[in-house]
Amino acid sequence: MKNFLLYGFLLTLILTGCQHEQNLPMEYKEGLAIFTDNGKYGYIDSVRKIIIPAQYDIAKDFHNGMAYVSKAKKWGYIDRTGREIIPIRYDYIYGYVWDYGIPYAIVELQGKQGYINKAGKIILPIEYDYLHNGIAPFDYAPIQKNGKVGLLNKEYKIAIPCSFDQIQDFQEGLCAVQVSGRWGYVDSTGTVAIPIRYSKAEPFYQGSAPVLQNEHWFLINKTAQRISARYDTIYPLTDSLTYRVCKDSLYGTMNAKGRLLTKLSRQEIN
């Protein structure tokens, strides 16, 4: 009976050892591979020596000397020694952008977002509702904080503070913004350049922009002067430099200076 129990104990040890050995995969990334032990993950080297003990709930392969790991539903990055490069404290890290040459990645914590670099340094405070995951190749990217929107520039600095309800892209040095249902334009410093008084406002092209006021559309220049007649609609055509206009069911085309190119007629223009 004792021999039988001893045999069973030894067999259990052998099987346990085999099972652990089977959990050591043969696929290595940057000299290390992921293994599992008691439901946790760690890393071994090419001779199956444990380099980083199994301690993570989720572990990803190493890439460029970093691995994305998780503990207790928090995420961070470690180096090949197991040192935390980016502390395991974030709800999520959009670190894949680093593979595309984007210098900063979004991190999320308690429903807010910020930017960090690959060393874990916080570049933009974690206090925004929304950030754009990488600005290039754009000059500006939208951001949102406490329900208000603004713009970030290529240096990841606040170009336009989050103080507007809606915001468009910059065109010719101005961008349209909305506050309390009214639209106007701000310059690159966030200063109001054209009063916020229009029902709608479109981007500037060739020095003018269509705006809607008192149920009529017209073009304004950068000093807010009206430079065209009033129309029921103004719609940009494909080249964005010519507009289709309509007034009293008559259609025509107009250039960016407010000059009619075709006489108004009942023939629709597409």
For residue 263, being part of any structural domain is answered with yes
Q: What is the pLDDT of residues 85-104, one digit of tens each?
A: 999 999 999 988 888 888 89
Q: What is the pLDDT of residues 144-199, one digit of tens each?
A: 999 999 999 888 889 999 999 999 989 999 999 999 999 999 999 899 999 999 99
- Please check whether residue 212 is in contact with residue 200, taking contact to mean a CB–CB distance below 8 angstroms: yes
The pLDDT assigned to 4 comes to 38
The pLDDT assigned to 15 comes to 36
For residue 4, being part of any structural domain is answered with no
Structure tokens at 266: 């009942």
The pLDDT assigned to 10 comes to 39
CATH of the domain at 177: 2.40.128
27-35 long-range Cβ contacts below 8 angstroms, 24+ apart? 29/61, 29/62, 29/63, 30/61, 30/62, 30/63, 30/65, 30/80, 31/62, 31/80, 32/62, 32/67, 32/80, 34/59, 34/60, 34/61
For residue 19, being part of any structural domain is answered with no
Burial per residue of 160-196, b for 16 or more beta-carbon CB atoms within 10 angstroms, e otherwise? bebebeebbebeeebbbbbeeebbbbbebebeebbeb
Domain tally, the chain: 1
The pLDDT assigned to 201 comes to 98
Q: What is the pLDDT of residues 68-91, one digit of tens each?
A: 999 999 999 999 999 999 999 999
- Please check whether residue 73 is in contact with residue 88, taking contact to mean a CB–CB distance below 8 angstroms: no
DSSP 14: H
Q: What is the pLDDT of residues 101-136, one digit of tens each?
A: 888 999 999 999 999 999 999 999 999 999 987 655
For residue 17, being part of any structural domain is answered with no
Sequence-distant (6+) residues with CB within 8 A of 36 are: 23, 42, 54
Q: What is the pLDDT of residues 8-53, one digit of tens each?
A: 433 343 334 433 444 444 589 999 999 999 999 999 999 999 999 9
The pLDDT assigned to 135 comes to 57
The pLDDT assigned to 2 comes to 41
For residue 217, being part of any structural domain is answered with yes
For residue 3, being part of any structural domain is answered with no
For residue 101, being part of any structural domain is answered with no
Q: What is the pLDDT of residues 221-261, one digit of tens each?
A: 999 999 999 999 999 987 667 999 999 999 999 999 999 99
- State the DSSP string of 136-190: TT-SEEEEEETTEEEEEETTS-EEEEEEESEE---BTTBEEEEETTEEEEE-TTS
Range of the domain at 227: 173-270
For residue 183, being part of any structural domain is answered with yes
Per-residue confidence band for 55, with pLDDT thresholds at 50, 70 and 90: very high
The pLDDT assigned to 46 comes to 92
